[in-house]
């Protein structure tokens, strides 16, 4: 079940928003498509990020995948546990965030609800 | 998936939940459960692969032996019936047409097993060089081929039921043995770095043979394995893959498999070119810095670009990330190199190959 407490993007990221900070991770659909995740390249705390730009990389056995930040702002937290245990994203995609971004605004950012995301995934297949 | 070629086991892969991909025009599973789990199964127990996409060329006739001596880099003089030999096939300039496994039935009958991606090319190459006393036939479509690999493979075979012999020595084969009542060529060969066999049966028998082995495999918790694990297994064992460690622009000497090139043989296609000293060589690298280096990444010694990665991946059994790279010979003896990954230079130490060698 796709959690209702957060927003989603068409690049299969989720955003759990509290105030003006968004915790960002990837969806169950994404982790399943990637297969075993063996390495995560995290941004650094303090990094500036631009909406639509890649700000992290998740690597499976076979390939590297860019993770996009839907919002513009600054990285305020990273999930360092992923350094030693990248597979946590496979085990707990909605619990294992990648990074938290303090953002300026959500205006002009295309975010989907859980229902809209599920419909989008169904259509893609 | 409709325009892709299907092996006789396509429906089996779908039924087993295989994640299907386009592998050089073939629809095959990259994994069923998890590449890491499948890799581990082969190293510790047993895994079952569909390798039916490989090509089978038959070379027969009075001239078969001298013809193959000329076409292959390796010397097949000492082969007795029932032996398999690994060899390269080269162009005049020493570049590689393919790496192949030759099965000797007799001086006038050989089976040459070739890479799936090169089957048509190899057949045309062999046919173009055929002499009147030789017949070359492409019988790839007639066979299904399964690889049963891992330390417990024998238990699986016994559980499936064997009538006839299983080859005992590495690189030998038995022309016909029945496994689960199905006639197969059985060879003690493989591409994983583990002990095991490859089984060739009639295409129509492929699904039944696979089903019998899957059932028999329960006794050792065998897993069906896809292309992903096939690649991590061969990579960890530092086995070269055509299109990566060798191709039309890379000679077998550069790939570092000169054991399969007999320069003292009378003559063979590419001999002249291969007599000249190689200018590049394949080396093994283990990443020191965090990160994964992959195919095509540039390799540096200081500011000088000295080569590129031919294959790079995590090594699931060993832990850590490794790479094989083709570098200039004059720069091939350094202890540490740098590999460029997404704009960063990652340190990697030169490491002996094979990275992984199974315990005897």
B residues 142-161 lying closer than 8 A (beta carbon) to A: none
B228, A61: Cβ pair inside 8 Å? yes
Report the CATH number of the B5-53+141-236 domain: 3.30.1360.120
In this predicted structure, what is the pLDDT of residue B257? 96
pLDDT tens digit sequence for B121-153: 999 999 999 999 999 999 999 999 999 999 999
In percent, the amount of chain B with pLDDT more than 70 equals 100
- The answer on pLDDT for B304 being more than 90 is yes
Which of A17, A99, A90 has the alpha carbon at shortest distance from A54?
A: A99
Alpha helices in chain B (DSSP H): 10-15, 35-44, 64-71, 119-128, 153-160, 206-216, 227-236, 252-255, 271-275
Q: For helices B35-44 and B227-236, what crossing angle results, to 10°?
A: 50
Phi, psi of B14 (to 5 degrees): -65, -45
Is it the case that residue A59 has pLDDT exceeding 80?
A: yes
Cβ neighbours of A82 in B, within 8 Å: none
ipTM of this predicted structure = 0.92
Would the pLDDT of B2 be above 80? no
In angstroms, how far is CA B195 from the centroid of its own chain?
Answer: 14
pLDDT tens by residue, B163-216: 999 999 999 999 999 999 999 999 999 999 999 999 999 999 999 999 999 999
Q: Would you state the pLDDT for residue B91?
A: 98
Indicate the helix (H) or strand (E) that contains B186.
strand B182-187
Both structure tokens of B269:
């296609």
Mean pLDDT of all residues belonging to chain B = 97
Interface test with A, best of B21, B36, B312 (most A CBs within 10 A): B36
Report the gap between the CA of A104 and the closest CA in chain B (Å): 28
Does B305 touch chain A if contact means CB atoms closer than 8 Å?
no
pLDDT tens figures, A3-52: 999 999 999 999 999 999 999 999 999 999 999 999 999 999 999 999 99
Q: Tabulate helix, strand, coil % of chain B (nearest 5).
A: 25, 40, 35
Distance of alpha carbon A26 from alpha carbon A10, whole angstroms: 11
Q: Look at residue A64 and tell me whether its pLDDT is greater than 80.
A: yes
Residues of B in contact with A43 (CB under 8 A): none
- Please report, to the nearest 10 degrees, the dihedral formed by the alpha carbons of residues B130, B134, B138, B139 taken in order: -170
Chain A residues closer than 8 Å to B290 by CB: 39, 83
Examine the pLDDT at A1 and tell me if it is beyond 90: no
User: How far are the Cα atoms of A51, B3, B93 from residue A21, in angstroms, in the given order?
Assistant: 14, 47, 61
The predicted-structure confidence for B233-260, as pLDDT tens digits, reads as follows 999 999 999 999 999 999 999 999 999 9
Interface touch B34/A35, C-beta < 8 Å: yes
% of residues, chain B, pLDDT over 90: 99
On chain A, the residues whose CB falls within 8 A of the CB of B31 are 35
Residue spans per domain, chain B: 5-53+141-236, 279-360
Q: How many DSSP H helices and E strands does chain B contain?
A: 9, 21
CATH architecture of B279-360: Beta Barrel (2.40)
Closest residue in A to B31 (Cα–Cα)? A35
Judged against a pLDDT cut of 90, whether residue B315 lies above it is answered with yes
Average pLDDT of the segment spanning B282-309: 98
Nearest to A39 among B30, B228, B291 (CB): B291
**CB-CB neighbors (< 8 A) of A57 in chain B:** 342
When pLDDT is cut at 50, 70 and 90, the band that residue A125 belongs to is confident
Q: Report all structural domains of chain A as residue ranges with CATH numbers, in order of start.
A: 7-109 (2.40.50.100)
> Which residues, in sequence order, are CB contacts of A73 under 8 Å at separation 6+?
A20, A48, A49, A101, A102, A103, A104
DSSP code at position B118 = G
Which residue, among A79, A39, A41, has the nearest Cα to A60 in the 3D structure? A39
The pLDDT, as a whole number, for residue B360 is 76
Q: Tell me the C-alpha to C-alpha distance, in Å, between residue B178 and each of A98, B153, B164, B185.
A: 53, 16, 6, 9
Q: Is the per-residue pLDDT at B118 higher than 80?
A: yes
In the prediction, which pLDDT does B1 show?
A: 60
Using a CB-CB cut-off of 8 Å, the residues of chain A touching B30 are 35, 62
pLDDT of res. B36 = 98
Q: B187: closest CA among B68, B313, B73, B85?
A: B85
Q: Inform me whether the pLDDT recorded for B324 exceeds 80.
A: yes
Q: CB distance A39–B30 less than 8 Å?
A: no
Q: What is the pLDDT of residue A119?
A: 97
- The pLDDT of B28-39, averaged and rounded, is 98
CB pairs under 8 A between A and B: 38
Which residues contact residue B58 at a Cβ distance below 8 angstroms, ignoring those fewer than 6 apart? B109, B110, B111, B112, B135, B136, B137, B139
pLDDT, average across residues A50-57: 97
Interface test with B, best of A62, A65, A80, A82 (most B CBs within 10 A): A62
């Amino acid at each position: 079940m796709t959690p209702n407490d957060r927003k989603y993007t068409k690049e299969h990221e989720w955003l759990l928003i509290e105030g003006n900070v968004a915790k960002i991770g990837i969806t169950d659909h994404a982790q399943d498509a990637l297969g075993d995740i063996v390495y995560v390249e995290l941004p650094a705390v303090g990094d500036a990020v631009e909406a639509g730009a890649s700000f992290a990389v998740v690597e499976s056995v076979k390939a590297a995948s860019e993770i996009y930040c839907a919002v513009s702002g600054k990285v305020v937290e990273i999930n360092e546990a992923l350094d030693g245990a990248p597979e946590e994203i496979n085990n707990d995609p909605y619990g294992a965030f990648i990074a938290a971004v303090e953002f300026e605004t959500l205006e002009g950012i295309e975010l989907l609800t859980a229902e809209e995301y599920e419909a989008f995934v169904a259509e893609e297949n | 998936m409709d325009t892709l070629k299907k092996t006789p086991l396509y429906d089996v892969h779908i039924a087993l939940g295989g994640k299907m991909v386009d592998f050089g025009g073939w629809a095959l599973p990259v994994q069923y459960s998890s590449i890491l789990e499948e890799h581990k199964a082969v190293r510790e127990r047993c895994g079952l692969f569909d390798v039916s996409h490989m090509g089978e060329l038959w070379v027969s006739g009075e001239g078969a032996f001298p013809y193959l001596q000329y076409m292959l880099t390796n010397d097949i003089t000492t082969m007795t019936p029932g032996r398999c030999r690994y060899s390269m096939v080269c162009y005049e300039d020493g570049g590689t047409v393919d790496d192949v496994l030759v099965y000797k039935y007799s001086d006038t009958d050989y089976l040459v097993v070739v890479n799936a991606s090169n089957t048509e090319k190899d057949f045309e190459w062999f046919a173009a060089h055929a002499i009147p006393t030789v017949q070359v036939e492409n019988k790839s479509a007639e066979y299904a081929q399964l690889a049963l690999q891992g330390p417990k493979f024998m238990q699986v075979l016994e559980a499936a039921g064997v009538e006839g012999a299983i080859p005992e020595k590495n690189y030998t084969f038995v022309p016909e043995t029945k496994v689960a009542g199905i006639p197969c060529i059985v060879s003690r060969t493989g591409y994983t770095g583990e002990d095991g066999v490859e089984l060739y049966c009639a295409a129509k028998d492929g699904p039944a043979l696979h089903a019998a082995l899957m059932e028999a495999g329960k006794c050792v918790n065998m897993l069906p394995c896809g292309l992903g694990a096939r690649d991590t297994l061969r990579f960890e064992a530092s086995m070269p893959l055509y299109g990566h460690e060798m191709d039309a622009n890379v000679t077998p000497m550069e790939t570092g498999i000169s054991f399969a090139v007999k320069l003292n043989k009378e003559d063979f296609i590419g001999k002249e070119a291969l007599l000249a000293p190689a200018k590049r060589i394949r080396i093994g690298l283990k990443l020191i810095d965090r990160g994964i280096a992959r195919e095509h990444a540039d390799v540096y010694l200081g500011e000088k670009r000295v080569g590129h990665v031919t294959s790079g991946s995590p090594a699931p059994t060993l832990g850590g990330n490794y790479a094989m790279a083709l570098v200039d010979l004059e720069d091939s003896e350094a202890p540490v190199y740098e590999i460029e990954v997404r704009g960063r230079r990652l340190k990697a130490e030169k490491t002996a190959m094979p990275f992984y060698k199974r315990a005897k």
